[in-house]
Structure 1
Amino acid sequence: METRERMTLMNWNSLESQVYTLSKKAFLNLLDDHSDEKFYAFALYTDSSAMTICLAANSLEKLNEKIDNEDEEDKTDEAISYFKWTSSEWAYEAFEGDEFAEINRELRNDKERNEFDTFIHKLITCMTNVLASLVSEGFFKKKSIVDEVVLFVTITDDDVAQSIENASAKLLNNEDSLQIFLKRSTS
């Protein structure tokens, strides 16, 4: 017999609070587990169907390791920029993803999904607000994070990813970090 999960109506304030708590814990665990690395970027992301929330981060060490492992012909400026700024290429993509299982179930079963454009807008706003809260409390000023850390929200495998990334980056980063990030597509 097939079990159907009950459709619910999302409490966006509660979701934001849960995502904040889980993200902060996961980012702290990541920084503690890899305290010998210098992190340059952190992101929250969803998939194009808005069924998941995941976090990702990368360090300069892991970026350089990835580049070093590429064939020489694949070490173009364009490829390096792609490795640097595409969260799916990062060493710590979906870090502690299992911790978000309940949230992801709620996203999949939300009644508001019928109005998908509104739903995904609320989800992107929620993720941006979580990172903004961490910024406002100085979370990203830790010693294992570079001064020009870049933060953004993204959506995987979607044509609107760059516009979402840019819009969220403008809200989350200081001017120096923002300019570094915005130049990624001209590299």
Structure 2
Amino acid sequence: MLASLDRKGAGVDWIAITGELRAAAVGAVDMLSSVLEGRHLYAICLQTADDAMSVGFCANTEESYADKHASEAKIENMSPDYAAYLRWAPAEWGYEGFGDDLFADINRDLTAASAASENDFAVYFHHLIQAMIDALAHLRAERTQALEAVTLFVTISDSEAAQAVERQSVHQLNRSTLAAEFCQRFG
């Protein structure tokens, strides 16, 4: 994936950033695995915002989803769309922002790079999304067996561009059955 990216796109060393994202994602999964205590992981994503100043790691388990679903069903009409939202929206997950300390140095660099990329922000943003996808592809390769049934994707919080980025990344990162299950929520 990185072969299509310039090393210094938008003035940022994307090879270095991608390497740091790879290491942080693997570290976060390893740390998460040590606290899951038999819970069944089904989704992991890397998330940024429209300002592209940081990346966060998010994950959810079947058990956390079931708990959230049950608590929301007490106060909300649980339509299929709302259930899908709870299942796939990182803001509703049990492990949103997990391992933030592993991303702290990267996020300091990204904050500075984002602010400095005003003239080339679209290029900067594209490179960041590609680096995030690459980091998750690396994670899948490094933890193949543990993540076999786990859906991986990239998202942008509270953004109109999120759906397109999610679709692109989920198809690149997952076997077709996992990608199809994820994309069913879009109709």
**What are the superposed Cα offsets for residues 16-46 of structure 1, whole Å, 9 maximum, x if unpaired?**
1111111101111101111310011010010
Query: Which residue of structure 2 lines up, in the alignment, with residue 178 of structure 1?
Result: 179
Query: 1:113, 1:13 → 2: CA distance?
Result: 21
1: CA distance between counterparts of 2:172 and 2:182?
13
**Contact preservation (8 Å) 1:148, 1:176:** no
Correspondence 1:132 to 2:133: no
> In the alignment, is residue 82 of structure 1 matched against residue 116 of structure 2?
no
Q: Could you tell me the TM-score, scaled by structure 1's length?
A: 0.88
Runs of 4+ in structure 1 over 4 Å off: none
Residue of structure 2 equivalent to 1:116: 121
After the TM superposition, which residues 1-187 of structure 1 pair with which residues of structure 2 at under 5 Å, given as runs?
9-70=11-72, 71=74, 73-110=76-113, 111-137=116-142, 139-142=143-146, 147-186=148-187
| RMSD of equivalent CA atoms | 1.6
Cα distance between partner residues in 2 of 1:116 and 1:92: 30
**Cα distance 1:136–1:99, how it changes in 2: closer, same or farther (>3 A)?**
closer
1:155·1:161 contact (CA, 8 Å) conserved in 2? yes
C-alpha separation between the residues in 1 aligned to 2:77 and 2:122? 37
After superposition, the C-alpha distances for 1:32-89 in whole angstroms (9 at most, x for unaligned) are 1113100110100101100011110000000000011112543221111001011111
What is the TM-score with the length of structure 2 in the denominator?
0.88
List alignment gaps of at least 5 residues for structure 1: 1-7
Q: Which amino acid aligns with 2:131?
A: C
1:73-121 CA-to-partner distances (Å, cap 9, x unmatched) read 4322111100101111111011011221221111111133431111110
